[in-house]
Amino acid sequence: MKPLAYPAPIHELVAQLKRMPGVGPRSAERIALWMLTARNAQPGDIADTIRTVTERVKPCVQCGFFTDSELCEICADETRGHSTLCVVEQPTDIILLERTGALRGRYHALGGRISPLNHVGPENLRIGGLIERVRTQQPAEVILALGADVEGEATSLYIADLLKASPVTVTRIAQGLPAGTSVESADEVTLSRALKGRFKLEA
């Protein structure tokens, strides 16, 4: 028996929707069929919004965060001081750090990390702009908030090396046990880093 096939355009729609992160074949089919049976303008509105937003939103010329004008909201905010400059890999990391409420400084998104295996060298990242910002804005501290993996380490060391002639203090975010976990559940590397990063308790 010849199995029933969707018309080709529906296949194409499912294939396109499957490219979105977290959307598997079943959800893609569900969304596609919803789009085809929706008796309103919603699917068209979604398409238009994807088009406009991806065209209008660009990286901030200074820090790489999302913006629809020249400078992003953070860079344009005069009430934030320039004493702390926090370096992250992706612009999305800025959102996560801001949500902690632990920091009220400025940010610099590199756009990735040095990764020879993926052909990403320092020249592919926003590192020149970072050095220039440190020179002109003269922050007291540069916090390297990069991933706790080999490439995050390498990128941190590379930047620290570039900044060693500058008077700025370069720090790296801590590595250790994630909140709410037991020593038992930590792997060896995490545990040894947590030990190395131990700090004195104030009595």
61 binds a copy of itself (CB under 8 A): no
158 binds a copy of itself (CB under 8 A): no
Taking the least distance from each CB to a copy of itself, the nearer of 24 and 197 is 24
Q: How many CA atoms lie within 13 A of 46 on its CB side?
A: 9
37 binds a copy of itself (CB under 8 A): yes
Site string for a copy of itself, 67-96 (x = CB under 8 A): xx---xxx---------------xxx-xx-
Which residue from 7, 27, 28 is spatially nearest to 17, judged by alpha carbons? 28
Taking the least distance from each CB to a copy of itself, the nearer of 8 and 203 is 8
Among 52, 118, 181, 192, interactor with a copy of itself by CB under 8 A: 52
Taking the least distance from each CB to a copy of itself, the nearer of 45 and 141 is 45
Site for a copy of itself in 93-122 (CB under 8 A): 94-95, 98-99, 101, 104
Q: Provide, rounded to whole angstroms, the least separation between the CB of residue 123 and a copy of itself.
A: 16
Residues that bind a copy of itself (CB under 8 A): 1, 3-10, 12-13, 16-17, 19-23, 27, 30-38, 42-54, 56-57, 66-68, 72-74, 90-92, 94-95, 98-99, 101, 104
